[in-house]
């Protein structure tokens, strides 16, 4: 037969179902959040590596200006340091969407779709391979061009040939940047279709796998050797790049998300600890008289401690029964959403065993350890003190100036009954300061996290705006070849709506290290530097921007200095241009994307050393008006004008579109943060509800006194609702302050992962006021059920309560 104390445990667990449910839900929410974060992080990391490995990712890419044939491919394939190589044609074209807008599209031409050896492309739906005079669209790009499989779209090639082609199916190409992030769709056609567009046969892009692809430095050397071989064969190399081993495009952003998930996991763990301690403290306070009775009849401290620890373990087991299945489901759904956003497949959704072990440890061991402090503190009291009806708060409340102020002694305005009710609620809030502290810690962390989400979103927007401000123009046009700068500027200014123009050239280059090894591809942009220049100083991290008269000055991304330790501000940087080495001096660093190394130098200087004086391959245009509709209309007119005079435009980018696409690349991060903030806020709300429920129970006789002197049900309930609102407002104020360092830490972590420097800090006042509304509503809802229970007690019930 069970002993009496175990009957008490069972009765405590199932006799008060509301309290048990509240405690279990509070613990399960924290465990649920922890399970989602740990499981999704592992699923995404493992799934990404497995998915990316199936496409045989390249170690790097080399692109040529001239076309090459199969003979050159075979010669590269015979290189000892090359494991495998494949080739395709890369064409920058334009496609007209259903709304009539022309979008840039990258079209790949593959010789044999059934024998793609590197950076494999797979069929997603529809025809495979693409039929003649039809096209496949990468699956993530269909929404970008506002089309579906079976639709007919108008495609314009650089040679100005336009054809209507049917979308025969969709393809899956994880080696490309997701179209919904960078705004560039991808299409796939055959060489027969290419001939139909009037283009000659030939390849211009090599995808190389090094013999040891896991070694980035070696892979970089191999790509450089292939590039040198191509240059010796008479090919011009406008671009080459080395890939990070096993990393898909946008991996930096995904790693930033995984980092934030880890930080939120730690935060949810701390919240679970505070919630357990708060819940156990409240439970012991409620059962103080019962502890006294057990001690009076001979129960030892260890026996009572063991009984309550078993009860805590039972709460943990029930919480785990809820948290584990729901956490696994949530992790799979979250992983699926992020996989779609970053455009890769997850072949396995198995939850790692270590996640279950960590959840079990947090749900069982952590509550026991966290509850030891309140247990030992409560069990030290004597039987007489524990059985006293008035030990609650005796000798504690009223001793300091805050308590005396809240008591309202000798205050003339205390004659107002409504003010006395409010002060009663505030006084009750501070009655048990230990419990109040734990509740505030839980709610404050939830508040700070919620507000920090909006701060990070505002910081991302500020960072994007800072980057957009680099360009004091409305549209940028890239040409298919070099044109005379004065000609394209003169022709552009003749188009109605164009107010100002400026030119630049862009060159592929490589950094030559002190040991003669070379970096991957670095893009050099050479804008004109003068007072009316349409490119202004980027967000300078250190040093300064370019000045007129600078000869060999260069401004580089901060992240590039981190990747290349031998470089520093004020030092020299050797760059290889057109096969020749040139020394530049680093005069400044700017905030830029880690995966997009762009260096800036002076147009006048670079055109002299490359014999390209007076040439331009890109044009910046400032319109008379800057609203999106006007800019789009003027841009179309400018494109039409260039087409009529024979200037071929290969790519058009408006600042408005660039802003939208840049912000879209961070939507997944913000959405994830918001979901986790809501979960943490829910944990805080449940903690507040538990606190208020215990407050009602331990003040049962006080409620009786209020009812005995004529307090109405509404008045009794209002006292407890106001108490919950006071706690909510306090947590809001403290959360708003804690959000400052918390969001700065998130900005630091996310900015370093994605851009190499912290995000531009911005505090979101709308987020602060939105959380004020939410926390007041949450406090009212969390206090409503306990307040309703308090108001429903009769005078007889409360005066007879033990």
Q: Which domain holds residue 309?
A: 1-53+248-388
Domain boundary among 625, 645, 673: 625
Q: Rg for the chain (alpha carbons), in Å?
A: 34
Q: What distance in Å separates the CA atoms of residue 789 and residue 780, rounded to the nearest whole number?
A: 14
E-strand ranges in 411-534 read: 475-484, 498-512, 518-527
With beta carbons less than 8 A apart as the criterion, state whether 196 and 153 touch.
Answer: no
* Same domain flag for 146 and 200: yes
Q: Give the model's pLDDT for residue 393.
A: 44
CA dihedral (674, 676, 682, 685) positive or negative: negative
Domain boundary among 208, 242, 276: 242
With respect to residue 158, please indicate whether it lies within any of the assigned structural domains: yes
- Beta strands 134-138 and 186-189 are antiparallel
With respect to residue 630, please indicate whether it lies within any of the assigned structural domains: no
Structure-block tokens of residue 89: 């044609």
With respect to residue 42, please indicate whether it lies within any of the assigned structural domains: yes
Closest CA to 552 of 505, 604, 605: 605
Contacts 24+ apart (CB under 8 A), 739-742: 739/447, 739/448, 739/449, 739/451, 739/452, 739/455, 739/763, 739/768, 742/448, 742/449, 742/452
* Same domain flag for 327 and 355: yes
Structure-block tokens of residue 391: 């030990």
E-strand ranges in 735-793 read: none
With beta carbons less than 8 A apart as the criterion, state whether 268 and 363 touch.
Answer: no
Question: Distances in Å between the alpha carbon of 113 and those of 84, 92, 406, 735?
Answer: 17, 20, 79, 56
With beta carbons less than 8 A apart as the criterion, state whether 589 and 569 touch.
Answer: yes
Q: What distance in Å separates the CA atoms of residue 268 and residue 125, rounded to the nearest whole number?
A: 41
Structure-block tokens of residue 265: 């996991």
Instruction: List CB contacts of 661: < 8 A, sequence separation 6 or more.
Output: 181, 182, 183
Q: Give the model's pLDDT for residue 391.
A: 44
* Same domain flag for 364 and 511: no
32 sits in the region (left: phi over 0; alpha: psi -120 to 50; else beta) called alpha
With respect to residue 412, please indicate whether it lies within any of the assigned structural domains: yes
* Same domain flag for 304 and 380: yes
* Same domain flag for 275 and 213: no
With respect to residue 636, please indicate whether it lies within any of the assigned structural domains: no
* Same domain flag for 382 and 400: no
CB atoms within 10 A of CB 205: 19
Instruction: List CB contacts of 74: < 8 A, sequence separation 6 or more.
Output: none
CB atoms within 10 A of CB 296: 13
Q: Give the model's pLDDT for residue 699.
A: 61
Q: What distance in Å separates the CA atoms of residue 560 and residue 753, rounded to the nearest whole number?
A: 13
Query: Among all chains, which residue has been given the structure tokens 């734990």?
Result: 438
* Same domain flag for 216 and 114: yes
Give the number of domains in the chain: 4
* Same domain flag for 257 and 236: no
Cβ-count burial 789-798 (b if 16+ within 10 Å, e if not): bbbebeeeeb
Q: Give the model's pLDDT for residue 554.
A: 92
With respect to residue 650, please indicate whether it lies within any of the assigned structural domains: no
Residue ranges of the chain whose pLDDT lies below 50? 1, 389-397, 401, 405-406, 409-417, 594, 801
E-strand ranges in 6-81 read: 60-68
* Same domain flag for 401 and 384: no
With respect to residue 649, please indicate whether it lies within any of the assigned structural domains: no
Domain boundary among 242, 276, 309: 242
Q: What distance in Å separates the CA atoms of residue 217 and residue 564, rounded to the nearest whole number?
A: 12
Q: What distance in Å separates the CA atoms of residue 58 and residue 54, rounded to the nearest whole number?
A: 12
Q: What distance in Å separates the CA atoms of residue 427 and residue 402, rounded to the nearest whole number?
A: 9
With respect to residue 230, please indicate whether it lies within any of the assigned structural domains: yes
* Same domain flag for 687 and 794: yes
For residue 82, give the H/E element and its range: strand 82-96
Question: Distances in Å between the alpha carbon of 81 and those of 59, 222, 223, 224?
Answer: 12, 6, 10, 11
* Same domain flag for 109 and 237: yes
* Same domain flag for 216 and 314: no
């Amino acid at each position: 037969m069970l002993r009496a104390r175990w009957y008490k445990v069972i009765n405590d667990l199932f006799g008060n179902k509301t309290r048990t449910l509240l405690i279990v839900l509070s613990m399960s929410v924290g465990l649920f959040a922890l399970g989602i974060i740990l499981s999704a992080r592992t699923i995404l990391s493992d799934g990404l590596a497995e998915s990316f490995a199936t496409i045989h990712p390249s170690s790097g890419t080399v692109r040529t200006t001239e076309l090459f044939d199969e003979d050159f491919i075979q010669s590269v394939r015979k290189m000892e340091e090359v494991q495998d190589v494949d080739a395709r044609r890369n064409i920058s074209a334009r496609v007209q969407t259903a709304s009539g807008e022309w979008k840039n599209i990258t079209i790949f031409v593959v010789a044999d779709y059934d024998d793609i050896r590197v950076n494999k492309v797979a069929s997603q739906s529809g025809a495979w391979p693409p039929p003649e005079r039809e096209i496949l669209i990468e699956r993530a790009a269909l929404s970008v061009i506002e089309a579906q499989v079976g639709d007919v779209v108008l495609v314009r090639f650089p040679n100005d040939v336009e054809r209507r082609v049917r979308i025969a199916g969709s393809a899956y190409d994880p080696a490309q940047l997701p179209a919904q992030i960078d705004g560039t769709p991808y299409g796939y056609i055959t060489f027969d279709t290419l001939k139909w567009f009037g283009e000659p046969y030939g390849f211009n892009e090599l995808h190389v796998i090094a013999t040891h692809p896991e070694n980035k430095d070696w892979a970089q050397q191999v790509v450089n050797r292939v590039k040198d071989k191509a240059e010796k064969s008479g090919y011009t190399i406008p671009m080459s790049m080395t890939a990070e081993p096993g990393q898909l495009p946008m991996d930096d952003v995904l790693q930033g998300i995984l980092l934030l998930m880890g930080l939120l996991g730690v935060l949810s763990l701390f919240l679970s600890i505070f919630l357990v301690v708060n819940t156990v403290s409240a439970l012991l306070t409620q059962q103080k008289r019962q502890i006294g009775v057990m001690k009076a009849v001979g129960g030892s401290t260890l026996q009572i401690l063991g009984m309550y620890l078993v009860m805590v373990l039972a709460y943990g087991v029930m919480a785990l029964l809820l948290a584990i299945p729901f956490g696994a489901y949530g992790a799979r759904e979250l992983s699926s959403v992020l996989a779609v956003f970053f455009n890769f497949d997850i072949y396995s959704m198995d939850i790692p065993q270590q996640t279950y072990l960590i959840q079990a440890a947090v749900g069982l061991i952590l509550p026991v350890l966290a509850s030891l402090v309140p247990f030992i503190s409560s069990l030290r009291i004597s039987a007489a003190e524990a059985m006293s009806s008035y030990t609650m708060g005796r000798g504690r409340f009223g001793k300091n100036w805050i308590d005396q102020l809240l008591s309202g002694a000798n205050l003339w305005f205390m004659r107002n009954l409504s003010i006395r009710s409010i002060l009663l609620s505030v006084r009750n809030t501070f009655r048990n300061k230990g419990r109040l502290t734990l509740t505030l810690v839980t709610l404050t962390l939830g508040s700070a996290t919620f507000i920090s989400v909006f701060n990070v979103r505002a910081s991302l927007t500020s960072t994007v705006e800072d980057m957009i401000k680099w360009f004091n123009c409305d549209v940028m046009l890239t040409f298919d070849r070099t044109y005379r700068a004065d000609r394209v500027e003169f022709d552009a200014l003749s188009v109605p709506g164009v107010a100002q123009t400026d030119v630049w050239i862009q060159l592929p280059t490589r950094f030559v290290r002190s040991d003669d090894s070379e970096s991957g591809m670095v893009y050099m942009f050479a804008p004109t530097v003068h007072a009316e220049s349409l490119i202004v100083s980027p967000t300078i991290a250190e040093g300064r921007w370019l000045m007129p008269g600078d000869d060999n000055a260069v401004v580089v991304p901060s992240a590039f200095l981190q990747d290349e330790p031998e470089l520093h501000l004020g030092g020299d940087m050797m760059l290889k241009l057109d096969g020749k080495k040139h020394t530049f001096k680093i005069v400044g660093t700017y905030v830029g994307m880690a995966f997009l190394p762009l260096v800036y130098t002076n147009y006048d200087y670079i055109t002299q050393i490359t014999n390209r004086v007076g040439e331009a391959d890109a044009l910046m245009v400032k319109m008379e008006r800057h609203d999106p509709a006007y800019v789009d209309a003027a841009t179309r007119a400018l494109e039409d004008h260039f087409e009529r005079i024979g200037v071929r435009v290969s790519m058009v980018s408006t600042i408005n579109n660039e802003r939208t696409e840049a912000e879209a690349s961070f939507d997944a991060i913000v959405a994830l943060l918001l979901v986790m903030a809501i979960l943490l806020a829910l944990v805080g709300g449940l903690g507040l509800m538990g606190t208020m429920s215990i407050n009602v129970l331990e003040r049962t006789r006080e409620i009786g006194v209020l009812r005995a002197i004529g307090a109405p049900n509404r008045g009794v309930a209002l006292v407890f609702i106001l108490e919950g609102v006071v706690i909510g407002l306090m947590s809001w104020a403290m959360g708003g302050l804690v959000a400052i360092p918390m969001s700065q830490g998130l900005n630091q972590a996310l900015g370093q992962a994605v851009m190499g420097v912290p995000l531009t800090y911005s505090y979101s006042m709308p987020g602060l006021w939105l959380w004020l509304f939410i926390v007041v509503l949450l406090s009212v809802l969390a206090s409503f059920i306990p307040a309703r229970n308090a108001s429903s007690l009769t005078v007889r019930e409360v005066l007879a309560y033990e």
